[in-house]
């Protein structure tokens, strides 16, 4: 029996390159991944090597071919989901002139203020410019410098020789598509955070001449814009050889990770939210109109659905807190994990944590954790915030600290969810949870208890971005329609809020008070750091 056509779904996140084989019904066959290092630099820099991505892609495709040769032979389409808000300067031959300046990179903040300053100002930028951005794009550059608008100015001002050689600035998705097809394009969502597009008509996203002229970047350095579902070509000969696939395989433009996750979670109906738990996390829902909540940093933006926008509220650090715990605090042979009776060969880090978390009382014996390892985006946009434990005593154990981290991320999500409720116009009563960190049963239950709502877990949360890319590719090549997706989505478990919700209500009030009191202190600390650096 012949296999149905398969989509090679690329999922390139901050942690590394992943890929899967996805059928039009959402079935995921195979899963392969390779880590790609993130270089954190002095002065707020963060970079990745795009060539390392490309090499890792060949490795994961080879892994899939060894494990599932028939499915790989059935691939007719490639579609990608990638991390967003990264920037790569490429030359006329399509070769990278810089590493990818990551979505975590804040080095361009001063360049942003220099380009867009004026009086009166907010975040160092003219309020008149901000008003135009909000009217045309629905958002504005982050004052933190964590998006391409600032990255490109950093290259222009600090690397003038590179800027002179730059043919095009590309986001992460755009660079992968260039390598796959030889064609230079941006999608309606990948171009967003360059903040140069007119997004008032969801089916007609285009460059705004006024915003391009004001950006400080030469107009010809921006790529043409296409829909996420557009077939942008077939595999270039070099890419076909690199991946071991036929040159006839079609490439669909694909989407940034939050756009793809909204499709992969099956939440394509209006106002139906999902919570993604990865390195960062977000709450997102498709909505019919462009809208911006300036106070909380939440906006509806262009997405894969041609007649809709995607409301997105981004939390900078979620699973990153667990990665920090794993890499900096505990190891697989650590007694903390052996207390959970698990080893590297017996399961994942989530299995170990899930055996420990239920042994710790709700509220982590009074310990609170603020999960702001690298600043925050919503419901406040503040690069100065940093993580911290509060109320540690002589009786505090590392298991208490572990549960406090789980609870702290959930409390921060509740803070963000209140702004989401206001944005959508009604309280959210149920939410799909997905992303790699949703594998933790304990964390899913904590989210249900902290948020006080039903949490429906995606049956295969690790592959949500790949499944979303697969479905976008399937729509682009005519295998399915977006309206088919809700009936194809699957949940494996529903977590209901319990009696612990009342305890978390009290903790939540303290948590939000902590931000009010600590934010000025963090500003002072970072001001001192900058002074010491200059000395």
pLDDT at 461: 94
Where helices occur in 85-216 by DSSP H, the ranges are: 109-116, 127-136, 148-158, 160-165, 172-181, 209-214
As a whole number of Å, the end-to-end CA separation of the chain is 71
pLDDT at 346: 41
Statement: residue 332 has pLDDT above 90: no
In tens, the pLDDT along 284-307 reads 999 999 999 888 889 999 999 999
Measured CA to CA, the distance from residue 244 to residue 60 in angstroms comes to 11
In tens, the pLDDT along 60-106 reads 999 999 999 999 999 999 999 999 999 999 999 999 999 999 998 99
Nearest Cα neighbor of 193 from 297, 268, 305, 289 is 297
Contacts of 407 (CB under 8 A, 6+ apart): 363, 364, 368, 369, 446, 450, 504, 507
Measured CA to CA, the distance from residue 66 to residue 54 in angstroms comes to 19
Residue with tokens 């222009």: 156
pTM: 0.89
Residue with tokens 């080879």: 62
Measured CA to CA, the distance from residue 202 to residue 187 in angstroms comes to 12
Domains and CATH numbers, the chain: 6-265 (3.30.420.40), 314-461+493-534 (3.30.420.40)
Measured CA to CA, the distance from residue 27 to residue 35 in angstroms comes to 24
């Amino acid at each position: 029996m012949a296999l149905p056509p398969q989509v090679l779904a690329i999922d390139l996140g901050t942690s590394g390159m992943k890929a899967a084989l996805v059928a039009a019904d959402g079935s995921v066959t195979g899963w392969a991944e390779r880590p790609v290092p993130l270089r954190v630099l002095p002065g707020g820099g963060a970079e990745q090597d795009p060539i390392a991505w490309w090499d890792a892609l060949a490795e994961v495709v080879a892994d899939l071919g060894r494990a599932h040769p028939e499915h790989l032979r059935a691939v007719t389409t490639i579609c990608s989901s990638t991390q967003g808000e990264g920037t790569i300067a490429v030359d006329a031959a399509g070769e990278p002139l810089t590493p990818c300046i990551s979505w975590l990179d804040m080095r361009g903040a001063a360049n942003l203020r220099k380009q867009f300053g004026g009086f009166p100002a907010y975040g160092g930028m003219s309020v008149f410019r901000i008003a135009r951005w909000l009217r045309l794009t629905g958002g504005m550059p982050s004052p933190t410098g964590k998006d391409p608008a600032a990255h490109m100015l950093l290259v222009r001002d600090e690397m003038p020789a590179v800027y002179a050689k730059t043919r095009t600035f590309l986001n992460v998705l755009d660079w992968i598509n260039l390598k796959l097809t030889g064609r230079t394009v941006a999608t309606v969502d990948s171009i967003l955070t360059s903040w140069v597009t007119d997004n008032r008509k969801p089916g007609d996203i285009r460059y705004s001449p006024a915003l391009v002229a004001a950006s400080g970047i030469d107009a010809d350095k921006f790529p043409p814009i296409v829909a996420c579902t557009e077939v942008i070509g077939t595999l270039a000969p070099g890419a076909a050889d690199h991946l071991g696939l036929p040159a006839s395989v079609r490439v669909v433009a694909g989407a940034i990770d939050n756009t793809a996750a909204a499709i992969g979670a099956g939440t394509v109906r209006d106002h139906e939210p999902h919570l993604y738990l990865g390195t960062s996390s977000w709450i997102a829902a498709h909505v019919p109109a462009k809208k911006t909540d300036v106070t909380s940093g939440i906006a509806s933006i262009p997405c894969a659905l041609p007649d809709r926008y995607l409301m997105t509220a981004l939390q900078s650090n979620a699973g990153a807190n667990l990665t920090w715990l794993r890499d900096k605090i505990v190891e697989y042979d650590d007694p903390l994990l052996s207390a959970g009776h698990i080893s590297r060969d017996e399961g994942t880090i989530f299995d170990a944590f899930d055996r420990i978390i239920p042994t710790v009382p709700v509220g982590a014996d009074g310990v609170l954790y603020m999960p702001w390892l690298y600043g925050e985006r919503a419901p406040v946009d503040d690069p100065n915030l940093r993580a911290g434990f509060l109320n540690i005593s002589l009786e505090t154990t590392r298991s208490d600290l572990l549960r406090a981290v789980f609870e702290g991320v959930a409390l921060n999500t509740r803070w963000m969810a209140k702004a989401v409720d206001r944005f959508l116009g009604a309280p959210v009563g149920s939410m799909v949870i997905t992303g790699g960190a949703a594998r933790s049963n304990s964390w899913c239950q904590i989210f249900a208890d902290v948020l006080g709502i039903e949490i429906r877990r995606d049956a295969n949360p690790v592959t949500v971005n790949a499944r979303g890319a697969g479905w976008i590719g399937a729509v682009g090549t005519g295998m399915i329609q977006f309206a088919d997706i809700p009936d194809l989505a699957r949940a494996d478990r529903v977590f209901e809020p319990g009696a612990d919700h009342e305890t978390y209500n009290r903790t939540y009030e303290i948590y939000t008070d902590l931000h009010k009191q600590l934010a000025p202190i963090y500003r002072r600390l970072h001001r001192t750091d900058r002074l010491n650096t200059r000395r």
